[in-house]
A and B are shown apart, each in its own frame.
Chain A
């Protein structure tokens, strides 16, 4: 028995099987600790898998010993490894930094259920990232969505319930569309394995069920990924979720949907459906562009800092979608890099917001006036992550913006307008971030408010700074995300040859 051979299965099994143990616990602290340990163990497994992928290439695993297409095969390549690092990293960061905040949001009696749901959500997302089977993706999508709804609805803010109901309905429609598409493809190919599907689709290209399936799958996943204008569930869900939950889901859950979208469209459809690349681009690029511009503009007018960052996420998803929509080597590189870098920046920003809300009990910007003078350490980290979100050189955000602009310039005739749009959106990001930073540093505190120095505990501050500095580290030494994105692009475009 060599456990190193079982990494892809353990990546799912460890958090998934810890969850039932957690719900049996009676104490909130113990439940949190177990969840954190399981989350860190998953991060460790993700790192081991990443190393294995970089050394020996794609990791294949046959669950139950049954070879595909008869059984379910797991397949971990550079792209999967990148997404796995995001999921497990975000979960660990949010759990480690969110202890105090979650204790205020969730009473001790119900905490074991909450942390059980957390682990199930994380395991579901990991399952989507490791599997090579289209129906298995659906099963894990169900698991992670259902658990995420619980997490979002968990806080004390009753508005979360209506927000989560909207998310539940839209998420279910998205998942159903995906399932309809997979059903049609199974009908025409008799297989559920991605690689086998790509081969067998060749015989039935241009049949109606396959074309309709491509549409259903793309739109279903776009709903899940919150690509503009299918994002309507996202801002309220992010805003009213418990703060630690926002840190977790904002960093990774939409990226996992984009991951499946890329996996399906590139490895399965692009090589087989004539003109699919063009259709995909024509569908996705206008939506992405409207998202980039409109969502950034809407973010400027938000009075709630969480909602502002949520709309900023919609715009950032637009960047990823735009880059992927170019359907070129450079475009995919940019998309994958931006998935990674945006998760770093947004995770840090929401963690800082968690700290602000922990001390001042409000997410409304006018209530947070002067918070930068009272919490200088946290505020400085916020500024640093904000610079990365804007894409200032020296930060991780710059690397992906650079790749994005290079990819966009390759588009004949449209290069300059697209670059202008990206720059306009980045400037809007400067505006909405500056609006908050100005209020935090120079704003007059609300009348009667305290002005004494007020920082969160040292461990949380240290964690915030680790997250903030990772934005700089991956800006100066981007080798790891670059290598993973390169490997991911290779497997995605393998379907084109």
Chain B
């Protein structure tokens, strides 16, 4: 009952936030509201016991995406352009889609129904077989990294493609001459004492937490995607306080490019190693004499690949935006 009430409360807030985003003409408020929207979404996922998704949404949606949107906002006027738009068609399509989905929801199994088809078919197999075949406590990681590892390989390439797109269109990737950066970006908030001290205290812990999420993904919610996003959040905080110049000196753009490409290659190489060792593509069981050890090796290495690519791409995108005037 309490869960239901909290759920109803959160969902109402979600709707209110969504309406506020659409109605906001000030882009800064829209970005902030979309951060709040992601945070509420993360809470909703958590309420549905999807801790892994909640962590991703909080780290990527509320954290990094908001920062990237703010970085992008530097390049645009602060308010929404009042262009001509299809005032009738757009709401009509949205209303039709919403009505259809509500109509469909009357026929769906109720939330958490153990008899629902989704709970009866592949899910019991995953729960029953994972200890025996993969032997890691977090079954979500087993599904993402091993059973459906091909999808996750694809998702890593989605991230890489996004990075390629931003680097290609904004001309980043090779580094911009520093003379083009304004002094704010160059020096950050280093003249302000309080943010500087706070960041100095926080950054090491954020980076450490990212490493924990990265390497503890088999046991608790987490993995490469979340770890990469949290790591990037730490670096961006550093960059905001100590300036772009120092951050780029610590991790040059060329290194970021190698991380982005290298992570994806590492993942793919594990797949090809499966073929070379006599299994199928992305079969980790053949990587060691003992299939379970092989699965563990495979999952740890591909998660590392995911983390590298996510970190490299997100930081490249941040720098690409920050380096624009």
Residue ranges of A at the interface with B (Cβ–Cβ < 8 Å):
1, 3, 6, 9-10, 13, 16-17, 19-21, 23-24, 61-66, 69-72, 109-110, 113-114, 116-117, 120, 123-124, 127, 135-136, 139-140, 142-143, 146-147, 149-150, 153-154, 180, 184, 186-191, 200, 203-204, 207-209, 211-213, 215-216
A108 to B279, CA, bound (A): 40
B118 close to A113 (CB less than 8 A): no
B268 close to A16 (CB less than 8 A): yes
A187 close to B281 (CB less than 8 A): no
B121 close to A209 (CB less than 8 A): no
Determine if B77 is an interface residue (Cβ-Cβ < 8 Å): no
Q: Which of A13, A62, A153, A204 contacts B117 (CB 8 A)?
A: A204
B154 close to A24 (CB less than 8 A): no
Segment touching A, from B191-199, B226-234, B270-278: B270-278
Per-residue interface assignment for chain B, residues 64 to 103, with 1 indicating a CB less than 8 Å from any chain A CB and 0 otherwise: 0000000000000000000000000000000000001101
Q: Which of B100, B103, B154, B265 contacts A140 (CB 8 A)?
A: B154
Given A190-B122, A212-B100, A212-B101, 4 other A-B contacts at CB below 8 A? A10-B281, A63-B280, A124-B157, A208-B108
- B-side contacts of A116, CB under 8 Å: 164
Given contacts A61-B280, A64-B282, A127-B154, contact A24 B257 (CB under 8 A): yes
Determine if B150 is an interface residue (Cβ-Cβ < 8 Å): yes
Interface residues on B, range: 35 or more
- What are 30 A-B contacts defined by CB distance under 8 Å? A1-B275, A9-B271, A13-B268, A19-B157, A20-B160, A20-B264, A23-B164, A64-B146, A64-B274, A65-B285, A69-B121, A113-B164, A113-B167, A113-B173, A135-B151, A136-B151, A139-B151, A139-B154, A139-B158, A143-B157, A147-B164, A147-B165, A150-B168, A150-B169, A186-B118, A190-B121, A208-B104, A208-B107, A211-B104, A216-B100
Interface residues of B in 143-175 (CB under 8 A from A): 146-151, 153-155, 157-158, 160-162, 164-165, 167-169, 171, 173-174
A20 close to B168 (CB less than 8 A): no
Q: State the main secondary structure of chain A at its contact with B.
A: helix
Top 4 A-B pairs, shortest CB-CB distance: A208-B107, A190-B121, A20-B261, A9-B281
B168 close to A154 (CB less than 8 A): yes
B171 close to A110 (CB less than 8 A): yes
A114 to B167, CA, bound (A): 10
- B-side contacts of A203, CB under 8 Å: 117
A191 close to B164 (CB less than 8 A): no
B161 close to A13 (CB less than 8 A): no
Given contacts A61-B280, A150-B169, A212-B100, contact A200 B164 (CB under 8 A): no
> Which residue of chain A is the closest to B266 with respect to CB atoms?
A20
Given contacts A114-B168, A212-B104, contact A187 B117 (CB under 8 A): yes
- A-side contacts of B100, CB under 8 Å: 212, 215-216
Given contacts A63-B150, A64-B149, A136-B151, contact A150 B174 (CB under 8 A): no
